[in-house]
Amino acid sequence: MLHESLIDDARTIAGLITDLRRAIHAEPELGLNTPKTRDKVRAALAHLPLEWREGASTTGLVAVLKGRAGEGRSVLLRGDMDALPMPEETGLAFASTVAGRMHACGHDAHTAMLAGAAELLCRRADSLRGEVRFMFQPGEEGFHGARFMIEDGLLDPLPDAAFALHIMPTAPHGLIAGRAGPLLAAADQLDIVIEGRGGHASMPHQTRDPIPVAAEIILALQTMVTRQFDAHDPVVVTITKLDAGTAHNVIADRASLRGTMRTLSRAARHGRRSRCARCRRRAW
Ligand SMILES: [Zn+2]
């Protein structure tokens, strides 16, 4: 059975893939510039019959495996390489060695898993038709890494199919899940600035205090999400940063909010009102 031999093969390289993941974990890199991670990938796969493509805009890599069983479709497998700007406090032996950076989203695992897939599929090149492209993408955390790689021509001509995954620490070990339709949300960033007029905290009536306005906006956003969007087409709005003021007794001139919006459909992302399924009227 092909899948049984695949699992047996995967077990033979499990230690190498774990080592690669931990090496990447110890040296996290951010954004579009992940040269150490790229070099680790290249070194791990240097012995394989892959064609490599790199572009000018990022440290992204595409490795192409040509099947030896004839012409066929082109399938892309994608893993992301960048880490998050946050400190690691796990105390693990392979914890981040770079202050303020951590592979907390699991992209170290994605990169190592994709390298493992390249190894296993290269061993089966004789029975593969078409080609498999392994896309190692930096800049997933809001840096448009995939777009830059596409603009650099690294995926030309576009593949017939593309697959990606994300690990989920809350899922049971060994479970692989998927579904038809969107699985991961679009992520948009919100920046809101409230311009007020500051003054002394003992005389708020002589100011235009931006902080209560910011507080109302934060709560109103939550109400808006639950009252104006269909609960079956999920929208999440989260304010993650609130900046205002400098002292106990000074009302600030301005307040700023930062956050994220997650949507699973184009309609929700563009704030289009959904239609009633029965009468086709706008729902609000
Ligand atoms: Zn992630």
Distance from the alpha carbon of residue 251 to the mean position of ligand 1, in angstroms = 39
Residue-level pLDDT at 180: 85
Strand, helix or coil for residue 48: coil
Alpha carbons 222 and 231: distance in angstroms, whole number: 13
Cβ within 8 Å of residue 86, ≥6 positions away: 100, 101, 102, 104
Distance from the alpha carbon of residue 16 to the mean position of ligand 1, in angstroms = 22
Distance from the alpha carbon of residue 141 to the mean position of ligand 1, in angstroms = 7
Alpha carbons 244 and 63: distance in angstroms, whole number: 48
**CB under 5 Å of ion ligand 1: residues:** 105
Distance from the alpha carbon of residue 107 to the mean position of ligand 1, in angstroms = 6
Per-run averaged pLDDT (10 residues), the chain, 284 residues? 79 97 98 98 98 97 97 98 97 97 97 98 96 98 95 97 93 89 89 98 98 98 93 94 97 98 93 59 49
**Pairing verdict, β 131-137 and 161-164:** unpaired
CB 68 within 8 A of CB 125: yes
Q: Which residues pair with 74 in a beta bridge?
A: 131
Residue-level pLDDT at 283: 47
Please give the single-letter amino acid code of residue 280: R
Distance from the alpha carbon of residue 80 to the mean position of ligand 1, in angstroms = 8
